[in-house]
Structure 1
Amino acid sequence: MSEATGSGAPGITAASAFAGMRRVSPVVFKAGCPDCRGRFELAAGALRLAIGATSRTTFYSFTCPGCGCTVRKPAGDRIVELLTDGGVRTLRLHSAG
């Protein structure tokens, strides 16, 4: 049995490398609006994540599709991980120091 190594591995083509892969559904996140109390599923592109120096300055935000209000909620470590893994655009905040 031979082991294929490197990019010039015999018998490996782009088509065979992706064989068996399935189309992945877009990631959606469940969110709620504190103003209108609406509950929604939002695509990653509808959310923004801001990561600050502390937990008090780390949050995610979105515009409520029901009432149009801007919603801002705190984001702990687990939320940050889920949002970044799901493709949400991230802004790193720097403190003036």
Structure 2
Amino acid sequence: MQFFLCEIVARLVAIYLCADCCRLVRNGLFERKIEYINSDLLDWWSHDVIHRDTAPVRYWMLIGAEITSLAACLFVAIFGWWQPNN
């Protein structure tokens, strides 16, 4: 059971998140805007849009965060989830 949860499920979730991050980065670069979830605790489901021309620093920070997430998910999808043997 531990093999199934740690290896197969972690890789499937990582592949899904990798595809989602890739889609967000591609759309963000082509449309020159990126959408992110608002951090307000009372309004969870609202999405804010950052345009590249009006807020370039925040735009590139969000693109960098998505690329970092993409790299992390790609690493887990290739190598799996490692747990030390106790």
Same fold (TM over 0.5): no
User: Whose radius of gyration is greater, 1 or 2?
Assistant: 1
Scaled by the length of structure 2, what TM-score is found? Answer: 0.26
Scaled by the length of structure 1, what TM-score is found? Answer: 0.24
